[in-house]
Every structure is written in structure tokens, then in C-alpha cells.
């Protein structure tokens, strides 16, 4: 009996460790920005400026050209590749601080998107839209949480800085999450959505396993083209106004999100 109890405890500990939420750092990134001051985009996810390299709450040392990124442009996009599919539900962000070159260079307005293939991106509901200007030379991160999304890529679109006329920059970014499970059901309340026919032309029947949910349909540019509240069971959705092509349907219930491809013929 004691051996059985011990074995169960060990298996539970192993499972918990395997699926524990932890710091997820990108493995690569691409950007529309042009680096300035000889900075490198890799400095924003390699932990080079963090006091504790593997920590979502770590302080960041004073920013300089060896541990942060500064661009020649004020606005642009950065696509972070996570190396695999992760269930992401938050992020930590370290802005440019008083170490240099200027706190006004720091990122201000942003929009975040996610993707599984690096081509079709959807907005992350609940993600931060602004970051604070940082006036200390050693700085803690801003931390944010949002409903879980499954992503291999995260896009950060920078819309503004804190007043610098010449460029934009930040120090570090990391995400909170775990590897997306590939076997079995993650939990008993997992989202179960389906729709048919697919391809469709006039109407789609959407099946939902939650009492209340929402479906949002986006085109390949990330623009939302449909939004419908769902009830448990079957729901009819009119898609006759949509042009032929490929769309992404995002299903949202409570803090759970699932995404499927929808084809209109």
C-alpha cells in the first residue's frame, strides 16, 4: 500500500512538473525594424540583461547596447518564434530603462497577435495595449495575463513610443505558458467546437459544448469579419456575406480559446 501511494505521488509530481507553467523565451525573431546603436533583436529574449536569467519576475540591469534593442523607426512589428506550440497565458515585459539611451525610446502603444503557422495571425484578447515608461536604471518587469491561446508565434505590433522622435526600443520579453499537450485531453472542461459544412457558402452550423461562448471570424489580414454569441448545442451562422477564401474562426468561452480554419467557397 505504501509503495502504491509513493508511486502515485511520484507520478503526480512528474506530471505536474511536465505541465507546469513556466517562462517561455522565443528562440528566434524577425522584424520590420532596423537596428540602431549596433543593438541586436536577440538581446530582447536571450536573458542577457536579466539579473536572474530564467525568471519572469527578474529585474533587468541598466539597458545598454549589449542587453537591449533600439530601432531607427518608431512603429513596426516583431514576430517571435517560440520553437514549438505552447499554451500561452501571460507575458513579462521589460521596457528601456534609465540606463540608456533614453526612457522616451521605450515602447508605449502595442497590439499583440498569435499564430500557429507564422502566416495567419489573430489578436490576443486581453493582452496589454500600453507599456509604462521606466525611470529607474534597474527595473522590474510589467506582468500581464490573458485567456489561454495556443501559439508557436507571437507578434508584437509597436504603435508608439514615449515621445522620442527618432526610434523605439525595449529590453526583454518572455511569456508564461507550457507546451501544448499532444496526447489526450488537457482537462475535462476543454473547449469542444465544430462547424459544418466546411467549405461553406451560405450558412454554417456551429456546435458548442459550453452554455455560453462566442465565435469570432477573421480574414487572413487579421480583420474581424463576423462575431456571434453561441449557446450550448447547435447554432446557425450566416456566412453568405463573406468572400471566397480561407478564414480563421476563434471560439472563446470563459478563459479558454480554440481556433479552427474555415473555408468559404
Residue 49 within a domain:
yes
> Given a cut of 80, is residue 38 above it in pLDDT?
yes
pLDDT top residue among 246 and 258 = 246
Domain that holds residue 221: 193-264
Look at residues 131, 157, 179 and tell me which one is the last residue of a structural domain: 179
40/164 same-domain check: yes
52/93 same-domain check: yes
- SS3 per residue for the chain: CHHHHHHHHHHHHHHHHHCCCEEECCCEEEECCCECCCCCHHHHCCCCCECCCCCCCCCECCCCCCCCEEECCCCEEEEEEEEEEEEEEEEEEEECCCCCCCHHHEECEEEEEEECCCCCCEECCCCCCECCCCCCCCECCEEEEEEEEEEEEEEEEECCECCCCCCEEEEEEEEEEEECCCCCCCCCCCCCEEEECCCECCEEEEEEEEEEEEEEEECCCCCEEEEEEEEEEEEEEECCCCCCEEEEEEEEECCEEEEEEEEEC
Look at residues 151, 179, 207 and tell me which one is the last residue of a structural domain: 179
Residue 185 within a domain:
no
203/175 same-domain check: no
Residue 158 to residue 169: CA distance in whole angstroms: 10
Residue 112 within a domain:
yes
139/249 same-domain check: no
Percent of the chain with pLDDT over 90: 57
C-alpha cell at 26: 522565443
pLDDT tens by residue, 221-239: 778 899 999 888 888 999 9
For residue 181, the model assigns a pLDDT of 63
173/197 same-domain check: no
Residue 26 to residue 28: CA distance in whole angstroms: 6
54/81 same-domain check: yes
Least confident among 48-57, 156-165, 195-204, 255-264: 255-264
CATH number at residue 222: 2.60.40.3080
- The domain tally of the chain equals 2
Residue 116 within a domain:
yes
Highest mean pLDDT among 16-25, 65-74, 180-189, 222-231: 65-74
User: Confidence class of residue 139 from pLDDT cuts 50, 70 and 90?
Assistant: very high
Q: Please enumerate in sequence order all residues whose Cβ is within 8 A of that of 103, keeping only pairs 6 or more positions apart, or say none.
A: 95, 96, 97, 133, 134, 135, 162
pLDDT top residue among 69 and 192 = 69
161/237 same-domain check: no
Residue at grid coordinates 509604462: 132
C-alpha cell at 21: 507553467
Residue 158 to residue 33: CA distance in whole angstroms: 10
C-alpha cell at 184: 489526450
C-alpha cell at 92: 513579462
Dmax (CA) of the chain: 70
pLDDT top residue among 89 and 198 = 89
Task: Tell me the pTM.
Answer: 0.69
Contact 83, 124 (CB under 8 A): no
Amino acid at each position: 500500500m505504501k509503495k502504491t501511494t509513493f508511486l502515485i505521488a511520484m507520478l503526480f509530481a512528474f506530471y505536474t512538473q511536465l505541465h507546469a507553467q513556466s517562462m517561455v523565451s522565443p528562440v528566434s525573431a524577425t522584424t520590420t525594424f532596423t537596428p540602431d546603436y549596433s543593438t541586436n533583436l536577440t538581446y530582447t529574449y536571450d536573458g542577457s540583461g536579466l539579473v536572474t536569467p530564467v525568471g519572469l519576475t527578474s529585474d533587468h540591469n541598466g539597458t545598454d547596447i549589449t542587453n537591449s534593442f533600439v530601432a531607427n523607426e518608431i512603429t513596426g512589428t516583431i514576430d517571435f518564434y517560440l520553437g514549438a506550440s505552447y499554451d500561452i497565458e501571460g507575458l513579462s515585459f521589460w521596457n528601456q530603462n534609465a540606463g540608456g539611451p533614453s526612457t522616451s525610446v521605450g515602447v508605449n502603444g502595442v497590439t499583440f497577435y498569435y499564430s500557429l503557422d507564422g502566416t495567419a495571425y489573430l489578436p490576443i484578447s486581453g493582452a496589454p495595449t500600453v507599456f509604462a515608461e521606466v525611470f529607474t536604471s534597474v527595473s522590474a518587469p510589467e506582468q500581464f495575463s490573458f485567456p489561454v491561446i495556443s501559439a508557436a508565434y507571437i507578434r508584437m505590433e509597436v504603435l508608439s513610443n514615449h515621445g522620442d522622435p527618432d526610434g523605439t526600443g525595449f529590453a526583454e520579453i518572455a511569456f508564461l505558458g507550457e507546451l501544448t499537450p499532444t496526447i489526450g485531453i488537457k482537462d475535462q472542461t476543454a473547449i469542444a467546437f465544430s462547424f459544418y459544412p466546411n467549405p461553406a457558402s451560405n450558412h454554417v452550423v456551429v456546435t458548442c459544448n459550453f452554455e455560453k461562448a462566442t465565435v469570432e471570424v477573421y480574414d487572413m489580414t487579421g480583420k474581424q469579419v463576423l462575431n456571434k454569441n453561441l449557446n450550448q448545442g447547435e447554432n446557425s451562422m450566416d456566412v453568405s456575406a463573406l468572400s471566397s477564401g480561407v478564414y480563421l474562426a476563434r471560439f472563446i468561452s470563459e478563459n479558454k480559446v480554440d481556433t479552427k480554419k474555415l473555408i468559404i467557397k
